[in-house]
Structure 1
């Protein structure tokens, strides 16, 4: 990148840093929301109020794509394969069932609502796996445009934030003990940060939430490969260029998972990587948020909003039924 290109990034990067600091500040004052949620909202407010000037665009585009991909790779360092063993058979069945039913069920709902296959696919991926990170990972294997992506991000942020507030209130009426609630939250809340925030509101549930949630995240690479293979078959039949089975940054995510699973990385380094991943994700989500025009979404995205709410109800219901049926 040239010196002029670097200078062009400075105003936008300063905006991203300021917004990220504000997001962490708000999250510190209001524990019911996460910094990543606040970052998306701030980005959408900046866009919707006309404050996102052209001078900021180079940096916000950079962080919403490249920085988000770096955050996805670093997420892999939080995922030792050994935790799948810790789940047990019932936990593995729960995670697989929730992901499969939510992924395909959301796409079916999208078709019934008349939404495009690509938008439905992005929403399905975000709700079934891990929110914005999953949406970013699967997008290269689709024809989804920027509006599809930002809409899916907005929906998963909205519904995940509602889950933080509502799920703990439903624990007692649903007759869930602490462990069962942790399994339900881990299997149904979308973003990792949102799942942690939900579990943190019920003392003793956080460990179960994290194990179940991160086990869902491990399915990110197989799901991306599945989508890419389906796209390759369609592209081959049409004679168009074939997409990679795994985008480079998703391959990096897999490599990070394998590296973490070796146990060679010291805890101090893993802690640094975890915090760096969270910081980069917050900045990237602010950048993505600047692509969300709230008035336009409310006027033209009613079917998309309906899909998000239905997918949220689907994943919560399937996870709850699974916890009850499997006796977790």
Structure 2
């Protein structure tokens, strides 16, 4: 008698989640072997590669699909909540009001500008919003958070994730080349990286070459951008709620403030006002990284390169233009804050 069949029927998400966990371990191994490759970037790329393999695609769209979707949505939200424990309001206040205001302004201008670019280039569905979220706030994890609010399909979310991964990976190699020609000090370089690079892991990989002080500045500036995730997602939720028209009054409408966004805010407040032991913070950081790696692998498997290439020039143009805009604005903010 096959005992696996009942388990698969009662827990249809289990095979996909298990594969996502295995992929997160593989991504960690890649990062360990090549530290310049951020773990989360490795997870996304691994998912994209697996999604293109002809022999793997039937499983990805079949028995693994429920679990990969669970990883991409529910585990992503849990990871975003734990991400709040990286943020301390005291550290952010230590940046000074000029740096804080310019960082917030960069997020808002890039967000609005990228949505405009997406509509100008006629990106379909929620893609303009998702690309704007990823490029302006915190990469693929922000895209996953926003997609949970607007209820976008995995396929619709996959293209913005691929774009933000591509441009963030390019930043790891391009920004250090521009460091000295732009006449930036190490601390200015860290500020520029934190304000202009998308994913936290990509920020670490880029800024660490300028030393520990530059890395510290980069992380605090970056996490200030991450803090913008909560209001941006909450605003999108309110807009989506108003747009949601259903003749059935009992139909479920989007929450005004999604539960995971409230959890993120609570985590920030806990980190700011409760003295947590280092072992708790380290454990939360490891869990958050593992959850996001599994989620991003799941999102990566939904990428279809053939589809991406079919409309890819428009998506790629929006991504590259948004990347240039945020890098230029961040550079201006560095000089304004100096």
TM-score (norm 2): 0.90
- Check 1:117–1:31 CA distance in 2 against 1; reply closer, same or farther (3 A cut): same
1:18 equivalent in alignment to 2:22: yes
Q: What's 1:58 paired with?
A: 66
- Report SS of the residue matched to 1:186: helix
C-alpha contact 2:17 2:70 (8 A) present in aligned 1? no
Q: What's 2:231 paired with?
A: 222
1:114-157 deviations in Å (ceiling 9; x for gaps): 12362101100111111122112222332533222111111111
Q: Distance in 2 between matches of 1:114 and 1:58?
A: 31
1:75-116 deviations in Å (ceiling 9; x for gaps): 011111112211101211221111011000101111111123
Q: What's 2:257 paired with?
A: 246
Q: What's 1:111 paired with?
A: 119
Q: CA deviation at 1:283?
A: 1.3
1:212 equivalent in alignment to 2:216: no
- Report SS of the residue matched to 1:75: helix
Q: Distance in 2 between matches of 1:312 and 1:241?
A: 37
C-alpha contact 1:106 1:120 (8 A) present in aligned 2? yes
1:28 equivalent in alignment to 2:32: yes
Q: What's 2:180 paired with?
A: 172
C-alpha contact 2:154 2:299 (8 A) present in aligned 1? no
C-alpha contact 1:118 1:143 (8 A) present in aligned 2? no
Q: CA deviation at 1:16?
A: 2.0
C-alpha contact 2:38 2:201 (8 A) present in aligned 1? yes
Query: What CA RMSD, in Å, does the superposition of the two structures yield over aligned residues?
Result: 2.0
1:41 equivalent in alignment to 2:45: yes
Q: CA deviation at 1:10?
A: 4.4
Q: What's 1:142 paired with?
A: 150
Q: CA deviation at 1:254?
A: 0.9
Q: Distance in 1 between matches of 2:337 and 2:12?
A: 55
- Report SS of the residue matched to 1:205: helix
- Check 1:241–1:280 CA distance in 2 against 1; reply closer, same or farther (3 A cut): closer
1:174-206 deviations in Å (ceiling 9; x for gaps): 111011111110001111111111111221310
Q: CA deviation at 1:6?
A: 5.5
Q: CA deviation at 1:262?
A: 1.4
- Report SS of the residue matched to 1:127: helix
Q: Distance in 1 between matches of 2:13 and 2:111?
A: 37
- Report SS of the residue matched to 2:94: helix
Q: What's 1:277 paired with?
A: 288
1:306 equivalent in alignment to 2:317: yes
1:192-245 deviations in Å (ceiling 9; x for gaps): 111111111221310000110001111111111122222233336999864212
C-alpha contact 2:237 2:258 (8 A) present in aligned 1? no
Structure 1 residues not aligned, in runs of 5+: none
C-alpha contact 1:32 1:165 (8 A) present in aligned 2? no
C-alpha contact 2:190 2:215 (8 A) present in aligned 1? yes
Q: Distance in 1 between matches of 2:287 and 2:257?
A: 24
Larger CA deviation: 48-57 vs 169-178: 48-57
Q: Distance in 2 between matches of 1:299 and 1:123?
A: 18
C-alpha contact 1:235 1:241 (8 A) present in aligned 2? no
Q: What's 1:233 paired with?
A: 242
Q: Distance in 1 between matches of 2:13 and 2:235?
A: 36
